[in-house]
């Protein structure tokens, strides 16, 4: 009986999706996105997109075509298409499932069958995830073939996208189900789910931004501490010859190129170092708070990033990240007023420092445990679903 009923609910969910134009639109677009990867190829130091060529020496970057294809798949296929555009389509398409299910006249029939309310609701909930499951299965299968044909890498890890995307979408869908159950309104379910997702996006961005600020400031603190040490050495050993600096702007910042000791310069360096230390401490405090809040809520971006963790090794990612940052933006500068009141520009984080910051970022996010990322997120979902079941089981229709 249980199998019969479960199969019936899933069959019904498929028919419901099948009847929605958005489902087919998303499926066709999914196919188009994957097939567009076929248009990307590499020839003699060029990246070729259909007929257009752009110079891109992958070997010089230490990246294989296979890794590059995987990165395209992850950045455009998964992060941009699946976890962004297709998810919005999925939220819109599935928002009406629970409100329609609990509407008068329809729910009476469902409840009059020999199936417990909790099982009925949970099966209906899981069946609603079929939208994403079907979309991602098609997408992952096509991607597997395209990556095999183009990148000459048959990567079964791509199929991890299926459970990860379903889990990711379920974080959001539990909110849609709760709102749909409470308000019986499709619009309310859709809007509040999108707002919730936006909140998670802000939370995640706060984490990333605060962490980057913190890592930057830690690097600055390191440099400023070095500057203080050099200036103190100049004070303590006035006869000591200047250490040969790197001759760059950062060398000038560190004071290695200065001659003679200047107490005011040391005082200012200490003052600046202490101020930066306070900044670092404040950023650590705030970042800790954000992490605490994040622990309670679903971690959407990090769940999706688990796919990258599975497909691309950290060393390769570091290499790629370095290669990309080599041709990147100029190093950050800041204006410093010197003793004569003249303003000069100093580089306080050179390319090595920036690289260290981005490596720290990669390591930090990779070091977060799967249990923390998925476990706590599923815990949140379980609490919301528990609430849904409690409401559904107790309500009179």
Site residues (CB under 8 A) for other proteins? 1, 4-5, 7-9, 11-12, 15-16, 18-19, 100, 103-116, 394, 396-397
CA distance to 36, 40, 69, 73, 293, per residue, from 45 (Å)? 21, 13, 15, 20, 46
Shorter beta-carbon distance to other proteins: residue 109 or 335: 109
The string of DSSP codes covering 43-63 is: ETTEEEETTEEEE--TTTTT-
Residue 365's closest CA among 289, 282, 296, 305?
A: 305
Shorter beta-carbon distance to other proteins: residue 100 or 333: 100
> Least CB distance from residue 54 to other proteins, whole Å?
47
Q: Are 46 and 65 in contact (CB under 8 A)?
A: no
Q: Are 50 and 155 in contact (CB under 8 A)?
A: no
> Least CB distance from residue 170 to other proteins, whole Å?
23
Shorter beta-carbon distance to other proteins: residue 144 or 392: 392
Shorter beta-carbon distance to other proteins: residue 103 or 295: 103
Shorter beta-carbon distance to other proteins: residue 102 or 158: 102
Shorter beta-carbon distance to other proteins: residue 104 or 156: 104
> Least CB distance from residue 5 to other proteins, whole Å?
6
> Least CB distance from residue 173 to other proteins, whole Å?
19
> Least CB distance from residue 112 to other proteins, whole Å?
4
- Cross-strand pairs, 335: 345
Strand order, beta sheet including 46-49: 40-43, 46-49, 52-55
> Least CB distance from residue 88 to other proteins, whole Å?
22
Separation of alpha carbons 114 and 97, rounded Å: 21
CA 253 to centroid of chain Cα atoms: 35
């Amino acid at each position: 009986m249980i199998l019969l009923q479960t199969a019936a609910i899933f069959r019904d969910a498929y028919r419901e999706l099948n009847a929605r134009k958005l489902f087919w639109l998303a499926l066709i677009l999914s196919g188009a996105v994957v097939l567009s990867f076929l248009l990307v190829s590499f020839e003699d130091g060029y990246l070729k997109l259909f007929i257009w060529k752009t110079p891109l020496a992958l070997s010089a970057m230490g990246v294989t075509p296979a890794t590059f294809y995987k990165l395209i798949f992850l950045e455009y296929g998964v992060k941009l298409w699946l976890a962004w555009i297709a998810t919005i389509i999925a939220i819109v398409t599935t928002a009406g499932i629970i409100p329609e299910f609990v509407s008068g006249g329809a729910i009476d029939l469902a409840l009059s069958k020999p199936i417990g309310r909790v099982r009925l609701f949970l099966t209906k909930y899981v069946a609603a995830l079929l939208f994403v499951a079907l979309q991602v299965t098609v997408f992952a299968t096509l991607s597997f073939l395209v990556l095999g044909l183009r990148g000459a890498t048959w990567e079964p890890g791509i199929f991890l996208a299926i459970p990860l995307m379903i889990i990711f979408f379920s974080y959001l869908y539990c909110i849609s189900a709760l709102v749909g159950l409470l308000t019986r309104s499709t619009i309310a379910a859709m809007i509040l789910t999108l707002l919730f997702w936006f909140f998670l996006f802000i939370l995640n961005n706060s984490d990333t931004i605060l962490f980057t600020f913190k890592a930057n400031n830690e690097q600055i603190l390191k440099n400023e501490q070095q500057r203080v040490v050099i200036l103190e050495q100049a004070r303590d050993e006035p006869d000591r010859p200047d250490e040969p600096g790197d001759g760059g702007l950062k060398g000038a910042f560190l004071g290695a190129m200065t001659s003679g000791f200047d107490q005011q310069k040391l005082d200012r360096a200490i003052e600046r170092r202490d101020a930066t230390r306070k900044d670092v401490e404040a950023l650590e405090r705030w970042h800790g708070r954000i992490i605490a809040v994040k622990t309670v809520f679903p971690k959407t971006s990090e769940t999706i990033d688990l796919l990258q963790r599975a497909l691309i090794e950290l060393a390769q990612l570091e290499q790629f990240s370095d290669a990309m940052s080599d041709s990147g933006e100029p190093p950050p500068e800041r204006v410093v007023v010197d003793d004569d009141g003249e303003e000069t520009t100093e580089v306080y984080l050179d390319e090595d420092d920036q690289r260290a910051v981005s490596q720290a970022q990669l390591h930090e996010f990779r070091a977060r445990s799967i249990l923390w990322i998925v476990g706590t997120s599923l815990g949140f979902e379980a609490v919301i679903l528990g609430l849904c079941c409690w409401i559904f089981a107790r309500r009179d229709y």
